[in-house]
């Protein structure tokens, strides 16, 4: 996450915690705008390869390091990330703990997907009454 050298974020959304379940472009782009405005955005990715956009060209390398997708970098800037298997029931408590302290949950799955995984609006509202979903 970007910010000053002391690690604190600045901007009108400083202190706002966002948990992003976003893939490809639309969700991650929305998350990047929130992060640009100072929100602490944590992107949740699949441990088996991450966001599908990670391999999209153009690919670049800095100082001979591994190649990365410029497209992925452009819509996931200023974020932290965590790799969690959403379909593994053992991961649900970890995700619920993150949701319990989040201010915002941002997602761009098809309608009902997070609900079927136990992370729909009603379930998260029961954990965190102030959540914006």
Q: Would you kindly state where each structural domain of the chain is located, as residue ranges?
A: 17-127
**pLDDT by residue (tens digit) across 2-60?**
344 445 678 999 999 999 999 999 999 999 999 999 999 999 999 998 898 888 888 88
pLDDT at 43: 98
Residue 1: CB atoms within 10 A of its CB come to: 15
What's the CATH superfamily of 17-127? Crotonobetainyl-coa:carnitine coa-transferase; domain 1 (3.40.50.10540)
Of the two residues 7 and 121, the one the predictor is more confident about is 121
Q: How far is CA 104 from the centre of its chain?
A: 11
Q: How far apart are CA 35 and CA 66, in angstroms?
A: 25
State pTM to two decimals: 0.88
pLDDT at 44: 97
For the chain, give the percent of residues with pLDDT over 70.
94
Q: How far apart are CA 106 and CA 22, in angstroms?
A: 7
What is the mean predicted confidence (pLDDT) over 63-71? Answer: 87
pLDDT at 88: 95
């Amino acid at each position: 996450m970007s910010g000053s050298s002391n690690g604190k974020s600045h901007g009108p959304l400083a202190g706002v915690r966002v948990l992003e379940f976003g893939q490809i472009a639309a969700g991650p782009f929305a998350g990047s705008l929130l992060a640009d405005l100072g929100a602490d955005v944590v992107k949740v990715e699949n441990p088996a390869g991450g966001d599908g956009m990670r391999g999209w060209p153009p690919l670049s390398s800095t100082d001979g390091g591994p190649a990365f997708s410029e497209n992925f970098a452009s819509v996931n800037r200023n974020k932290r990330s965590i790799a969690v298997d959403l379909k593994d029931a053992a991961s649900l408590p970890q995700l619920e703990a993150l949701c319990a302290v989040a201010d915002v949950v941002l997602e761009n799955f098809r309608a009902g997907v997070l609900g079927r995984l136990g992370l729909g609006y009603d379930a998260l509202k029961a954990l965190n009454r102030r959540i914006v979903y």
